[in-house]
Structures are given as C-alpha cells and as structure tokens.
Structure 1
C-alpha cells in the first residue's frame, strides 16, 4: 500500500483531501500540516512534563508539603490531566471546533506555566524553606496555596484541552483511514519522545540547577508550541461543529421510551431521515438494537409540513439512532481497555519502588534516578512506533495482502502487556531471593545487590505494547465513532488513562489492606504475587477482549477501500 510506504514526515505526500480547494483557491489539509501540528504537540508536551513530572518533589521541597499530601495532590493532578481532554473534546465537537479549542487551551497552559515560573522566582509566593535538619517547617499561607492551585488548574485545563484535540485536528486533515493511521503513529512518536525529554532533561535542570530555569524552559516550550499551532492555520482544514451531539443521543433514548409501545414497520417512508426527507439511496434501520428504531418512527404531529421536527423529544433522525447504536457497539471494546491500562498504571509506580531497592549505579559515579526509570517505557514506545510504521506494517501487508486492523493491533498490545507482567513477576522473584540470601528482609531501606537494569525488559515490553494498542485504539475510535463525535473519539484514550490511573491506585490500596504483599519494606513483601495476579487478570481480560472483537463489526469501512482495515470486519 502506497500510504504505508510513505513517511508522514514528507509534506509531498498527498491524499484525496490534499486536492480539495478552499474558497480562496489554496490547498488545505494533507501532510503539509503535520510539521505545525507536531511542533505544537512537542512544545506543549515538553511544557506539561516540565511541571507535572517533578510535581511531588516540588511540593515537598518548595512548599513544605508532607509527602503523603504531596502524593495525593499529584494523583489528583494526574487524573485531571487525563480526564480534562474529554471535556475539551466535547467542547470542540459541540461548539468551537478542534483548532479553536486547542489554541485557547495552549494559551491557558502558557498562563499556568508562567505562573509556576513566577512562584519559583518571587519568594513571597512560596513559604520559607526548612532549615537543614529542622523538623519545623513553615506551612504555605492561604494566599500561597491559592496561587499554587490557580497555576495547577490553569496548567491542567490547558494540557487537557489540547493533547487529544490536536490528534483529532490532525486526523481531520486526511480522508483516507490509512493516512490517518500513519498520522496517529507519528503523533504518538512525537508525544512519547517529547515526554521522555521533559521527564529527563527538564527534570534534571529543576533538580540540579533551579526550579526557575526549569519552569522557564517549560514556558518557552509552551510558547513555541502555541506559535507553531497558529502559524499553520492557513494550511488547516477546519471542522465545523454542529452543536452538541450528546443532546441528540439523549433525545434518541427519550423518544424510544415515549414510543416503546409502537409497532416497528419495514417501510422506509415510516422513518424520519431529516428535514430534506429521503435523499439518495435510503436504507431501513439496522436490525441490531432494533428497539431504538422507534425513536425515528414518524407519528402524527412529530414533523411539521416543511419537514422540520415539531416535537424534538418525540422524534429523531435515523442517523441519530444509528449514531447511538455505534456507541453501544463499541462500548464493550472500550471497557476492555480499562483493565489493559490499569496494570500499566500499577507497574509504573511499583517499578519505581523496585528501583529504589536495587543498585542503580552505572559505573562508579553515576546513579540512575529512580523516578527516571519509567522513561524506558516512553523511549521504547517512540522507537517501536517508528519500527512498526516503517517496517512491520509494510511487511505484514506484503505477507497477507492486508494492513493490520486496529483490532489486531490492540489485541497484540494485550498479549505484550501480559508478557510484561509475567517478566515483572520473574524479575521480582529473583530480587526477593537475593534479598533473603543477604538477610535484607528485616532491614527497611536496604539496597539489594542486583542491578536496576534488570527492570528494563519488562518496561520495554510495556512500551512496545503501548506502541500497538494506543494508536490502534485511537484509530479505531476515530474511524468508528459518528462524525459529530470525532474529537470525543480520540479523547476516549485519555478517559481510559484517567480511569485506569485512579483504579490502579485503589487496587494497590486494596492489596495493602487485604494481603501482606506490599509492606513498607519491599524486601519483606511479595510483590511478585501482585504481578502474577495481574497476569491472571490480564489473561481473563484478553479473553473478554477476544469475544468483543469477534462479535464486533466495523461500521465505517467499505469493501475494497484502501484504508488499512481488513474487510473481514464487515464479513462477520
């Protein structure tokens, strides 16, 4: 397939939408927009990582916040950063469009990061530092807390409103799903690479130079990202929102309930297709979830003489009915991804604890920061995305004659995630054996003479798995969601991450309460049992996913279309 053999970094690559002409006669859309969108994504991601990756340390060192409270604040912030994209997507779909929401969000993010830099610059905006060895620390005042929370709020809203809205805006520049899939691959390459840089370079500056310079670099990156987004405006194809699509979906439910006693018919003229009536080749409602078809049945008084709706909460268009059915069909697949993300969230925090209890030295003088161990996931994902796009996908197509479908990519991500948890369990079993051989289980804070580099294989597997299932999910939701919900489709990944983050925190707390596997001294625990439990959960969830995938039928793929999706989904 030519689309898969072309690099999304080459502006010369065009799809059918590249040929579209605007009213001014200039070409819009296509790969020429990618450098601007990618530049914006990189800048905004660097800015977000600059203030969020080191937030716990910042709160403890600069605001004298107790470690438990700092962790709680960080958890809330991380959850908000993951969940706010859903709000931004709804606003983009319903009212303003992706470009406007992304631009405004980037401006809000810039204000938040600048406020962080001001807090780090001016002493009155933060409490006095604790004296060396002193147990008495001045807590932040109400004004200082207020300024801090304003900065966090602005930064969270700005980050959440731009991250996946940019993904939708970028995908909107292409007509072919194959080009959209390539775009999503490179979108995640840029996202993970920028996150890796911010979690290492900017965090190093904050820890070893100054917080003011670290936040200043974040502000500069944010400004560059905003500028890149605005400079590309002349090349973008802009989506036009048509009002809140969720209102129409709720109307379908209400109308179905109100017409629950009506008898369904097989006559096309009995259904409402819109103000323009039946145009082109009309089809009867689909048989799946046929009880919802009652919402489109016309009864006396529902439609005015000019064809417009007289009673909005009694009649809906057939397209609105089918849109709701699409969401219902994809919901099981989406739910299976929650328990795909939850083990990753658990492993992320527990791997840091493992690294703290292991030898992190590389040579005599350099020691890997425990918090930076997760960067391996980001780097392996970014590298894997490139390999998948340039080598594996073309090879798969040559061997099978088809491109890998989104469902196949997600399924492979499930398998790699399970393997990662199994490797994590084996590595932890080895670490515990060494700890017991040296009688370290009764010595809290002791370091096991085992290199932290043993953690690399499990983190690499997580990264490779994310390179398959995250872009696969974004491509699936974007392709299958109704047109009016495209921004919401890409934000579904953020919703999964947010829910998984909170769920992983709750599960860790549950394990600590019910079992003795996770004591404060990790050398005296059974973290390997936690990982084996995640393997069992992962296998069960993978079985659930396979059932959902086998029963699912692609809705927006035409046979014979060069779209990177197998026709098998339509033939089930």
Structure 2
C-alpha cells in the first residue's frame, strides 16, 4: 500500500532514457543507503537518554524530554524534505545533502564522547555530587543532536519516495516496499542491539564512531549508484494548488455564488461528468474559488490568473482534506503511546535487574527492540493469517477504520499494563527501602517491562497500515504521495504533545522526580491510558460521521490487488 501511495503521486510520462534506468538494479544501492542511515540513527538515538544521564548528568526526565524533541523534529521535517524534493532539487539531492548533515551531527556527538573538555567531569561520591555541564559542552551536545535529527528527517522518507520512482508498475512498488520495510526494521534492530551494547559495555566513543562509519558507507553506496537511478525532474509542490484555493476564495469572497454549472471553471482534461457538475454544497464558501468572473480565463479557456481562479476539482480536493481532518486529529493522542512508553521504559530499565545471565546484561537503550520486533512479527501475522481468516469468515476485507480502531484499543491496553507493572516495581522499591538510594537496583527482572512494549508494537502493526490505506483512498490524487508524510506529521505533533503534557505533570505534581523511585510513574501511565480511552470515543464519533469519498475506487484497487496476488 505504501508503494501505491508513492507510485500514484509520482506518475509521469518518462522519456526512453529514463526508462533504461531504475528498476531492481537500483535496489542494492537504495537498501545499502537505508541500512547505513538506519543503523546509525538507531545506534545514537536509542541510547541518547542513557548517554545524557550518565555522561552529561542530565536529570532523567529532562533527558526523556530532549529525546522526544529530537524524535518530534525527525517526524515533522520529512514534510519539508518532501516539498524540497518535489518542487526544487529532487529526491537524490535531498538524500545526499541530508546524509552529510546527519554525519556532521553524529561526529559532534562522537567528539563529546572522545574529548574530555567537551563533557563534564564524572560524578563524585556516587550520584550525590555531579558537575553541571558548561554552556559550551551543552552547545556541542545539542548541536550534534539537532543536526543528526535533521539529517535523518531528510533521508528516510525521501529514500522511500526515490525507491518508488525506480519502478513503473504498482506490483513492483509493493514488492519494493515490503523489502524496504524488512531492511528498515532489520537495520534499526541491529543499531539498537549491537551498537547500543558496544556503547554501554565497551566505549561510547567506539559506538558513536561506528555510527559515523556506517552513515558514511551508506552515503558512499548512494553516490556509487547515481548512474543507475532514474532521476525525475521536480514537478512542483502539490500544496501550491491548495494555496490557490485559499487565496482565490478570499479574493472572491464577496462575489455571489451561482447555481449554474457553466459559471464554474472545470479542467479541460477532466472527465465530462466532472465538468458538468456543480461544486458540492458542503463548505460552500470555498466554491468562490471556482467561480468564473471577467478576466479570469484566456481566449483558449485556460486560467489567466491562477491566484484568482481554481477548477472545481481543486476545490473538491481541498474539501476532502477538510473532511478527513477530524480523523487525522484523532490519531495524535493515539500516537503519543510510543513517545511516552519508549523513553520512560528506559528509565524503568535503569532501575531493575537487566541480567538475563551472569554474563549477559540487557542495555537499557535496547528496550525499543521489543516494540520493533513486535511490530514486525505482528505485521506478518496480521497480513498473512488474521486478515485472510477475517475475509474468509466475513467475505470482505477489513476496513481501514477498523484497523485504526484496533490500534487505538491495543495502545490503550499497553498504557494500562505499563501502569500495573510500574505499580509492582515501585512497591518492590518501597519494600526494600530504595527510594533514598539512587542507582540501586530493584529486585525485579527487566522482562517484566516487555509486555507493555509488545502491546504497543501490536497497536502499531494495526493502526499504521490502516492510516496509510485510509489516507491513500481519501487524499486528493495530487497529494497521495504525501500521505505517509502526513502520518509523520501526526507522529511529530504527538511527540511534542507528550513532551508538553509530561512537562505540565512535572510542574503541577510530584509524580515525576529525578529519582523515579520517589515518584508515581504509574499515575502518569494511567493518565495517558485515560486520555487514550477518551480519544477512542472521539475517534468512534469521527468515524461514524465520516463519509468516504473514494469507496468505489478503493474497492476497485482492492479487487485488482487480490487478482494480482492470485
């Protein structure tokens, strides 16, 4: 489905020279680039909280807030990268420039680990006397985090779009994205295990240097494949047409609307039924943008002033975006699960027994692996077992809204389980009088933290594909290539929202002190679980009110896909 999104959004008539390039010849280069970037970001980002606490003496909750801000930026900025790629410089240029920025950021992080003047002195007398980092040390650290985050934001989703551009048919694109997902998850697991283990048990400097090395190798692989890529010329951002609707509506807001179809502008290359139709009555104020007035068109019927006149189809596309916005907004709180559970679980892991064997200790920064693994395994189970069984019993495929609804439920359950586990951990800490001993280990095995991560991963496996499918079916055709980027925007907003809520909780309560053994972290989890529950009812209301605009087209695509698979 992701392949279909990118494919339709980039559909163009290609010259013969371009058709000789691309195809599966480019996949090893694209996969190598993706692996280098993903291993690097997984290696430095997943252990960032631990690094800031242990080496820069940042308070635990402050470290999680910094991590969330970096993750939020990495989720919001891909839209900027997509606009640059579509309208100015193309995917290839965005990727190699972003890779350079990412490498520079990781180099700064590596320097903080290698050079003693760039980090504060170690704590004295355990954790009671820890020097505060200087402004220069903080500047280098945060500059490295910012540059590395910007770099990965401009790389990951743009690689996906570039990969889709190498193929002409949707079947090859779907196969490509299946392997793209496998490569992405495998690389992130490698970074979150191998590199994170080396950082904690061998040397932080070695781990960060390896991140730099794999990122450089990924960039080199990208450059080596340049002659084989199909380079599509930038076609301009599809968001421009949306801006035209807004401006034209404002300019003509006082012009009386008409009930005659011929008074509205229709694209010459549009279907006859489209040209003979009147704009829909919903959000009728936007119909001003398609209303023709004197001087709006040329003699040949083309638009004379694009900022004064839009086609009926452009107006209807804009209305479709407005209709889907409530559903889009209902995903924000749902997507706060990972920003909350992932970093806070790291803090929990730092306080429990992480030894699986006397000689094997689970790095706290590797806990994200359980979410990644759960998502990957459950995606396979859902697509290959659960949904075929569902279709056999009900004689219809699950609707995207049903998949998203299940994602809501599992995320909510994951939060509730996290609250129960934290209650048990805190009770053990109190029984053994560990509240006044920071750094002491609670007699609780780290595997107790796994169920909450597995449930969050299961929720991701349900709602993420459901959102991609829904936005693909309902977004206007010119904007379908941005559907996955819109999900990224939702995730970015969710990271910022979770950061703001946690900061509010810190200011208004005593639930989140620096030493979580003195806090009430289970109440934080429970609060987010209640937010998820209320948001689930909001989602149900939005889903009930939502009217599909592309049901027939979506069913047609589903049937075609089923026939291809047969």
Q: Which residue of 2 aligns with 1:372?
A: 366
Deviation per residue, 1:181-232 (Å, 9 max, x gap)? 6655554443333222212211222233334432332233223433444556
Q: 1:374 to 1:150 in 2, by over 3 A?
A: closer
The equivalent of 1:282 in structure 2 is: 274
Q: Secondary structure at the match of 1:337?
A: helix
Post-superposition Cα deviations, 1:419-467, rounded to whole Å, max 9, x if no partner, equal 2122223323333444455555676655433322111111101111112
* Stretch moving more, 319-328 or 260-269: 260-269
Aligned to 2:32: 39
Matched, 1:563 2:558: yes
Query: By how many angstroms is 1:524 displaced?
Result: 4.8
* CA shift for structure 1 position 172: 5.0
Counterpart residue number, 1:531? 525
Mapping of 1:17-28 within 5 angstroms?
Answer: 22-24=15-17, 26=19
Q: Pick one of 74, 84, 90 that aligns with 1:91.
A: 84
CA contact (8 A) 1:189 1:386 kept: no
Greater Cα offset, 229-238 or 412-421: 229-238
State which of 118, 138, 150 in structure 2 corresponds to 1:126.
Answer: 118
Query: How far is 1:94 from its partner?
Result: 2.6
User: How many Å apart are 1:46 and its aligned residue?
Assistant: 0.8
Q: Kindly indicate whether residue 249 of structure 2 is the aligned counterpart of residue 256 of structure 1.
A: yes
1:242-291 Cα shifts (integer Å, max 9, x gaps): 323333312212222332344444444322234x4766553423443233
Query: Could you list the per-position Cα deviations for residues 34-71 of structure 1 after superposition, in whole angstroms to 9, with x for gaps in the alignment?
Result: 55443332221111223333334545666677777766
Alignment of 1:111-510 (within 5 A): 111-114=104-107, 116-117=109-110, 123=115, 126=118, 130=122, 142=136, 151-172=144-165, 186-230=179-223, 240-274=233-267, 276=268, 280-283=272-275, 284=277, 285-438=279-432, 446-510=440-504
Aligned pairs, number: 553
In 2, the alpha carbon distance for the partners of 1:346 and 1:414 equals 15
Superposition deviation, residue 88 in structure 1: 0.8
**Deviations 1:137-156 (CA, angstroms, capped at 9, x unpaired):** 695575x7666555444322
The Cα offsets for residues 488-531 of structure 1, whole Å up to 9 and x where unpaired, read as 32222222222222221222232333344444554454433333
Q: Alpha-carbon deviations, 1:109-160, whole Å to 9, x = none?
A: 2344355556656x49835855876968695575x76665554443222211
Q: Compute the displacement of 1:166 (Å).
A: 2.4
Conserved 8 A contact 2:415-2:526: yes
In the TM superposition, residue 381 of structure 1 has moved relative to its aligned partner by 1.4
- Compute the TM-score of the two structures, normalised by the length of structure 2: 0.83
| TM-score, with structure 1 as normaliser | 0.82
Pairwise CA distance, 1:351: 2.0
Where does structure 1 lack aligned partners over 5 or more consecutive residues? 9-13, 568-572
Q: Closer, same or farther in 2 for the Cα pair 1:479/1:241, shift >3 Å?
A: farther
Q: Which runs of 5+ in 2 are unaligned?
A: none
After TM superposition, the structure 1 stretch with the greater mean CA deviation from structure 2, 90-99 or 148-157, is: 148-157
SS of 2:556 mapped into structure 1: coil
What is the deviation of 1:168? 3.1
Between the aligned partners of 1:534 and 1:133, the Cα distance in structure 2 is 37
